[in-house]
Amino acid sequence: METSVLNLPEREYLLPGNRTCAGCGLSIAYRYILKALEGNAIVAVPASCLTVLHGMYPTTSVLIPCVNVAFPSTAASASGLVAGLKALGRTDITVVGFAGDGGTHDIGIQALSGAAERGADFIYICYDNEAYMNTGTQRSSSTPLGAKTATTPVLGKQQHLKDMPRIMEAHSVSYIATACPSYPADLYDKMRKAKTKKGTRYIHISTPCPPGWIFPTKDTVKMGRLAVETGMVTLYEMEDGVFRLTGRSRSVAERGKLKPVGDYIKLQGRFAGISADNLKELQTWVNSRWAGYLKRA
């Protein structure tokens, strides 16, 4: 049964007044993720915007235990938490590794691949704001084609993004889901489902970032919805290898069609001045990916 925003738990684990930017997509996602974890979890966080959200010593804005870890080490650190807790006979606690796209697709991919191959028993969450936002918006391998960043400042990125969930699928992990904080109930349900599974579970959350993508802070939810409605982001899950579209992506697939990619990128400063060729290529890439999802669904 799908949860509605009206019956999400009221208890909050993310306190107001944290240090994220106004309109932060991550802070919306994190709020619902913590509700789903119900406090009985330990989270390993590498260098990322989430480090900033958690606050500076000696105060914190989060009511679950957190260990800050080295940038490349998220999945290995989560494996260590799992191993340590198991050795001490404490298997009731959910272990979560929680990194950004740079910490997942780039510097953290080796440790993540290792942990997933071992089937280490934790939930890995990648929040994907599509660049190194915490260090000032440098290009990552999750930055989409055509987006300008601090290290692709003139021409924009010339390559497509790396499809991380597909890489995780190749590891045969027990559960993979994509999500977006614009659809909090869908995200909450996927977290709840992930919690019931064993082994490595991977959740990929697209988190719109107003300062990095350059759009007004009031438009975060709208931007996430447009990402899904244009097919730049697709909501799905894979349970033991079985693929299923969910939420808005499923309804678009069943009863509508994708909006043009232009509707999404024209609202973001990072795509300003994108070449006609790159825009066309981006649309072709979205269409091809979407066709692939429809075929699998």
Residues that bind other proteins (CB under 8 A): 39-42, 44, 51-52, 54-60, 62-70, 72-73, 75-81, 83-88, 90, 93, 110-111, 113-114, 117-118, 120
* Helical residues (DSSP H) of 197-246, grouped into ranges: 210-213, 220-230
Nearest approach, Cβ of residue 72 and other proteins (Å): 6
Nearest to 46 by CA among 92, 105, 86, 113: 105
d(CA 39, CA 63): 7
d(CA 180, CA 26): 9
Nearest approach, Cβ of residue 39 and other proteins (Å): 6
DSSP 266: T
The burial of 189, by beta-carbon neighbours within 10 Å (0-12 exposed, 13-18 middle, 19 or more buried), is given as buried
Residues 92 and 112: beta-carbon distance below 8 Å: no
Which of 72, 184 has the CB closer to other proteins? 72
Which of 88, 242 has the CB closer to other proteins? 88
d(CA 55, CA 90): 28
Which of 108, 146 has the CB closer to other proteins? 108
Nearest approach, Cβ of residue 140 and other proteins (Å): 20
Nearest approach, Cβ of residue 220 and other proteins (Å): 24
d(CA 264, CA 230): 7
Which of 48, 174 has the CB closer to other proteins? 48
DSSP 139: -
Nearest approach, Cβ of residue 165 and other proteins (Å): 20
Which of 15, 272 has the CB closer to other proteins? 15
d(CA 163, CA 94): 26
d(CA 213, CA 120): 34
Q: What is the CA radius of gyration of the chain?
A: 18
Which of 56, 276 has the CB closer to other proteins? 56
Nearest approach, Cβ of residue 78 and other proteins (Å): 7
